[in-house]
Structure 1
């Protein structure tokens, strides 16, 4: 674990257990030098404790890069609560997690993420003020989706020569809060939707409301489309899966879509444009960070409008340098993060 922390330049890793509630949690702080480390709290089952820690570390690094590229004075962090199928009192568990956050004395601010809700954040808020995405603050998912939608238009312009999405086939993998909101915006823009999700009810709803075409989850990645939009969990793009893609571009909301940069190079070699995840999906972070700071919706919306501009900048550099946008984005993020001493 120390080797991974060193390779990602992660500052610290914090673990806790609470016998009374069954809480087992990890908080990874990649950086808090220019501001508190802000990042969501995942509540998921993991095959083992090490997998949970690795997930937290890698996601925390991504949050530092996301904050830097979004121009936010924050570091990056991530929390993982290891889900137990037999939790007696969920509210008490999240209140205990709030006490864990409070013990870090403001170094980390948490927010909603996979497996958690605004109600969970309300429970955390009973123990600490270092939390956002509460019921009062609002769910950031719609803002993440807004940023991804704008990013898809920028990606379409860069790869297909137009940001008009009417008639484009977009494959949305994952219809959670962000994926479904994205599908709604794509439908309104006239895109033809191919969708998959392990929740058949969400797929059925997308079929009824957006005229979406259902595709089995394991088959969606190889289904011909213009844009493939991963909106579930990460590590979807590896050397094997990239070979299966039949699309012009990949642009979606999932974190850590690439298993490694070699997969990004493979996308580049195949002529598939990749929209770096921690740029295109930064709308949620922008919303929770600025909302926590007390900014109004107009300021937040103006900041969200920078997402496609940053993507376009990265695409231009990638084309000029004949490199993957993922490598260009990482170089830019590291320059911003480490030169600033984040």
Structure 2
């Protein structure tokens, strides 16, 4: 296994917003025997050890993989701070198609990579990795959460957090009825989106879904025959757009196409960049910052570390709604964007932790 630092021109001298993100450590790994190609990014450890999932994805280029892991790890710092969880932000990506290159040997090699960081980074599941995969990773390191041997898959916890955030935003926008009778479009019905669909239907919402996978759509339709399927939901006539697939669907161009009044979902890094947030406000669209809404999975696996009960974890996740209410009230009172309020909360909590604990 070969470990290298990231090339300076791809991290330290970037010209995009990530150039000033302040990542503490970025490690590249290649394991010739198993075919592992992975990157781990540790963004900030002032609040605690960096925790974040492992995304297994067939990135077109190494540069695309690096950009994704840098953005995702920064998002994990924000997510933990906004949720009040004493953890730092980190993330990992494994480059390749999990359907063709994922093997026990590769997962074990990845576990050894995680272990080499001596607990500075704790890994969990993400797109392309499952609790079963984490069981294999756990054979090579104890710095893993969310395996079947631990608290298990975090899909429902993430969905429940998003649902709690959505309900709070709907009540803020429309009053006590909240989501009841509202048209919600869920983009992406994988292990999180599919769970969110069920919660929305139970709440009395009308649900429309889209997904690139026909199999995923068939599974949701079989379980929930009342859902409507569309090729795309972003521009559909909806009250709520819930992006639950990959990020960056909110762009200067796509904002003009959105017909919903609320955007809130499980996808990470929904904004192409920070310039999109004021465009949403200009169109009177309430956007709940993704790292606030989708913290349920982090809260679950963090609870595993601190040995909290399932009921305690569910209560912690439900309190995401309180955070959303506070952000939206503070946004209205101070004429600030919700993203600006959330960023202030994160900055306050990181500053309170102090530079002395970093690294």
TM-score bin, normalised by smaller chain: over 0.9
1:170 to 184, 188, 208: 184
Paired with 1:230 and 1:252, the residues of 2 have a C-alpha distance of 5
User: Which residue matches 1:265?
Assistant: 278
Q: 1:232 to 1:86 in 2, by over 3 A?
A: closer
The range that moved more, 300-309 or 243-252, is: 300-309
Q: Is the 8 A contact 2:158 2:294 kept in 1?
A: yes
State the shift of 1:190 in Å.
1.4
User: Which residue matches 2:42?
Assistant: 29
User: Which residue matches 2:287?
Assistant: 274
**Is 1:247 aligned to residue 284 of structure 2?**
no
Q: Deviations over 1:90-132 (max 9, x none)?
A: 1110100000011101100000000101111011101000001
SS at match of 1:171: strand
**TM-score, normalized by length of structure 2?**
0.91
Q: Is the 8 A contact 2:271 2:277 kept in 1?
A: yes
Paired with 1:178 and 1:126, the residues of 2 have a C-alpha distance of 26
Paired with 1:249 and 1:95, the residues of 2 have a C-alpha distance of 42
Paired with 2:325 and 2:49, the residues of 1 have a C-alpha distance of 29
**Is 1:64 aligned to residue 77 of structure 2?**
yes
User: Which residue matches 2:346?
Assistant: 333
User: Which residue matches 1:216?
Assistant: 231
SS at match of 1:177: coil
**Is 1:303 aligned to residue 313 of structure 2?**
no
- Please, which runs of 5 or more residues in structure 2 have no aligned partner? 1-10
Q: Is the 8 A contact 1:21 1:89 kept in 2?
A: no
Paired with 1:271 and 1:185, the residues of 2 have a C-alpha distance of 26
User: Which residue matches 2:196?
Assistant: 182
User: Which residue matches 2:162?
Assistant: 148
**Is 1:319 aligned to residue 327 of structure 2?**
no
Paired with 1:98 and 1:33, the residues of 2 have a C-alpha distance of 24
Q: Deviations over 1:4-34 (max 9, x none)?
A: 4651111110111000000000000001233
- Please tell me the root mean square deviation across aligned C-alpha atoms, in Å: 1.5
Paired with 1:104 and 1:201, the residues of 2 have a C-alpha distance of 38
User: Which residue matches 1:286?
Assistant: 299
- Please, which runs of 5 or more residues in structure 1 have no aligned partner? none
State the shift of 1:208 in Å.
3.6
**Is 1:256 aligned to residue 259 of structure 2?**
no
User: Which residue matches 1:2?
Assistant: 12
State the shift of 1:77 in Å.
0.1
Paired with 1:70 and 1:34, the residues of 2 have a C-alpha distance of 12
The range that moved more, 186-195 or 173-182, is: 186-195
Paired with 1:21 and 1:89, the residues of 2 have a C-alpha distance of 9
The range that moved more, 321-330 or 22-31, is: 321-330
Paired with 1:66 and 1:104, the residues of 2 have a C-alpha distance of 22
State the shift of 1:143 in Å.
0.6
User: Which residue matches 1:12?
Assistant: 25
